[in-house]
Amino acid sequence: MSVEEIRQTVDGVYRAESRRIFATLVRLIGDFDLAEEVLHEAFASAIEHWPQTGVPTNPRAWLVSTGRFKAIDAIRRRTRFDASIAAVGNRLEEIERSKSVREETEIEDDRLRLIFTCCHPALAPSTQIALTLREVCGLSTEDIASAFLSAPPTIAQRIVRGKAKIRDAKIPYQVPTLADLPDRIDSVLSVIYLVFNEGYSASSGTSLTRPDLSAEAIQLGRLLSELLPDSEVLGLHALMLLHESRRTARASPNGDLILLEDQDRSQWNQQQIAEGTALVGRALSSPQFGVYTLQASIAAVHAEAPSTAETDWAQIVALYDLLLRADPSPVVELNRAVAVAMRDGPASGLGLIEAILQRGDLVDYHLLHAARADLCRRLGKSAEARESYRRALSLAQQEPERRFLEKRLTELG
């Protein structure tokens, strides 16, 4: 192989395997920063050696083993200069004793360990998100900062502090025990869903979506579905795919929001719908399904309908009833009200929304006022519709949503 071909091979291995190798190195070395450092040294070493020796039969094992030796060297050097870190010596012996490559399942477990460590509830949620994108997905600090509209130093500081807490408060690098697993999975799933939503429906800013973040979240969902096929893991993976399938249809070429009822359904991604629907089926076959699976089921009912009018709204309302029982929140209640309006007519939905408002819930939630405005508009109550659109507009942060509301206001005259 030519040097150029070797370089391409190394690039390919880097793209496909580097975070996996990193996860294993963290387990072997017990230090995020050193693992990152020797990961890059191992790849540099591959570029240097593979042209002479040829590409090893198991490149990943070679890279892990090389990284491990580099780590041992680095720790030896540091201990020589700084006696105060002699404690590291014990760690060194452990690394030397450990077999560098174990069973394939162990390697896969390393990726799970990394996810659970980065999403540990003892870290602030914003830190969990930054660490997961950096350490598990391998995104650069700059990419994460631009995705979340933050300054790179802010994100860098969050990551440094997160790693310091993992190291100094001894957050363990392990898959949680069976007893803790449900809680800890919740924490991981909420990080993945937050990343997805930030990509699918950016909370602020000029563009409706940031597809890269959603793609990362779906990739994480896929990884987790393979490693830990718990019903809610499958449910979230399905939910993300089913939402993602509508991405191109929900925004016009100039970035305006298109409501579900007005979307060109031929643009929906059928492959994602098929994959998502199959996952919903698997998730529903478990008795422990929960909120993600129920939301995915609702999305699946929409996905199979040829139009809004032909949608099985009775089934959607029934699914919202189950969802309300599992997660009694005013936002779910609002969504159920909209589905009831579709099943029984706008007046029924409006009554339910008024009830939420009278309780004092969601008074500052722009989507409640937008939904109320829409139902009033359908009932011919133009004055009330205008008032609610104005209220929604005063609360909405996102440019495309604001443009949509302004358009509706203009249409009302």
Partner 1 sequence: MLLVYAGENVYAEGEREQCMAESVQLCHQLKTKGQYLAASPLRSVSLATSVRIRNGKRLVTDGPFAETSEQLGGYFLVEANNLDEAIDIASRIPGAKKGTVEVRPIEELTNLPNTGA
Residues found near partner 1 in the complex (CB under 8 A): 120-124, 127, 161, 164-165, 168-172, 174, 176, 180, 183
Distance, CA of 274 to CA of 173 (rounded, Å)? 36
CB of 169 to partner 1, least distance (A): 4
Instruction: Compute the distance between CA of residue 297 and CA of residue 82 in angstroms, rounded to an integer.
Output: 58
Cross-strand pairs, 398 = 205
- Cβ closest to partner 1, residue 12 vs residue 125: 125
- CA quadruple 55, 56, 59, 62: dihedral positive or negative? negative
Task: Please identify, using beta-carbon distances, which residue of 32 and 404 lies nearer to partner 1.
Answer: 32
Q: How far is the CB of 188 from partner 1 (least distance, A)?
A: 14
CB 177 → partner 1: shortest distance, Å? 8
Distance CA 167, CA 124 (A): 15
Cα(231)–Cα(413) distance, integer angstroms: 49
Distances 49 to 7, 52, 270 between C-alpha atoms, Å:
11, 6, 45
> Least distance to partner 1 from the beta carbon of 170, Å?
4
Residue 342: Cβ within 10 Å count: 18
Least CB distance to partner 1 at residue 176 (A): 7
Please identify, using beta-carbon distances, which residue of 129 and 303 lies nearer to partner 1.
129
**Least Cβ distance, residue 124 to partner 1 (angstroms):** 4
Closer Cβ to partner 1, 158 or 372, answer by number: 158
**Helices 32-53 + 3-29 axis angle, to 10:** 150
What minimum distance in Å lies between the beta carbon of 157 and partner 1?
A: 11
Instruction: Give me the least distance between CB of 187 and partner 1, in Å please.
Output: 9
Task: Print the SS3 string covering 162-230.
Answer: HHHHHHHCCCCCCCCCCCCHHHHHHHHHHHHHHHHHHHHCCCCECCCCCHHHHHHHHHHHHHHHHHCCC
Nearer Cβ to partner 1, position 126 or 146? 126
Of 340, 322, 332, residue with least CA distance to 356: 332
257 φ, ψ (degrees, to nearest 5): -75, 135
- Residue corresponding to tokens 């969902």: 221
Measured from the CB atom, is 172 or 345 closer to partner 1?
A: 172
Residue nearer to partner 1 on the CB measure, 326 or 409: 326
Start-to-end CA span in the chain (Å):
71
Beta carbon of residue 164, minimum distance to partner 1 (angstroms, whole number)? 7
CB 193 within 8 A of CB 129: no
Kindly tell me which of 5 and 183 has the beta carbon lying closer to partner 1. 183
The least CB distance from residue 107 to partner 1, in Å, is 22
Sign (positive or negative) of CA dihedral 66, 228, 275, 323: negative
Residue among 106 and 183 whose Cβ is closer to partner 1 = 183
C-alpha dihedral (336, 342, 344, 348), degrees to nearest 10: 60
CB-nearer residue toward partner 1: 122 or 274: 122
Among 373, 368, 357, CA closest to 411? 373
Beta bridge partners of 251: 257
Q: Residues 6 or more apart from 335 whose CB is under 8 A from it? A: 320
